Amino acid sequence: MERKDPQKQRIPFSLKFIKMSTGQIVNVKEAVCTSSYNEGKTCNLLFLPSLQVRKIHIISIVEFNGQEVFF
């Protein structure tokens, strides 16, 4: 998720995750990872183009770049 191109720019991706509070599936068309925390198992995502930052649990991700995710 924290991939960068040769110019050190973050590479955008798409994903779907489940909101822990409601169980709703959130579809994110374009985002970049700004940081991740292995001990807390969370990551901060910057949603593009709205520039909204959200912290999500990595385990809640169900799709990444159109590929289903299994944990």
Task: Specify the pLDDT at position 1.
Answer: 75
Q: Look at residue 5 and tell me if it is in a domain.
A: no
Burial 45-55 (b: 16+ CB within 10 A, else e): bbeeeeeeeee
Q: What is the pLDDT of residues 2-50, one digit of tens each?
A: 788 899 899 999 999 999 899 999 999 999 999 988 887 999 999 998 9
Is residue 54 assigned to a domain?
yes
Q: Is residue 24 situated within a structural domain?
A: yes
Query: For position 40, what pLDDT does the model report?
Result: 76
According to the model, what pLDDT value does residue 71 have? 76
Q: What is the CATH number of the domain that holds 63?
A: 2.30.30
Model pTM score: 0.85
10: how many CB neighbours lie within 10 A of its CB?
16
Q: Under the phi-then-psi rule, with left for phi > 0, alpha for psi from -120 to 50, and beta for the rest, what region is 58?
A: alpha
On whether residue 35 sits in a domain, the answer given is yes
Does residue 51 form part of some domain?
A: yes
